[in-house]
Amino acid sequence: MLTIHQDETPEGLTVCRPVGELDAFTVSQFRQALAEMANGRRLLIDMSGIPFVDSAGLGALIGAIRRTRELGGEVAVSCNRPTLVRLLKTTGFDRIVTVSETLEEAAAELSRAELSKDGPVQDSQADAGSRSDGT
């Protein structure tokens, strides 16, 4: 059985908190919930309530990351379960998304990602403006 909680923070984060096993039996429910949350600009997935993940669950996570990024958003994962963190690192999952031990650390990573994503765009626009002035 899997229960999925969704919260919105004052900072504009969408927090997904699944609780239960994430496996072939529960993955469709998880995929559907993540698809609905992918519209948010910043998605934080708290895996601390997940004692077990199989390959179907990892696939759902990767799909949610891809969809969120395609829509211009960013994703971070928080997890304080050592066995799950080890699985995420062993599979290379931590190379495609930030995996932090606490919600606060993951939220800070999302804020940094947002700033770095917005920063170059603003600089490019400023550069284009100065070129059009002939300077």
pLDDT in tens, 33-61: 998 888 767 899 999 999 999 999 999 99
The per-residue b/e assignment along 58-88, b for 16 or more CB within 10 angstroms, e otherwise, is bebbebbbebbeeeebbbbbbbebeebbebb
Q: What is the pTM of this model?
A: 0.81
- Percent pLDDT > 90 in the chain is 61
Give the residue extent of every domain in the chain: 2-128
Rounded Cα distance, 83 and 110, in Å: 24
Q: What is the pLDDT of residues 83-93, one digit of tens each?
A: 999 999 999 99
Domain 2-128 has CATH 3.20.20.210: no
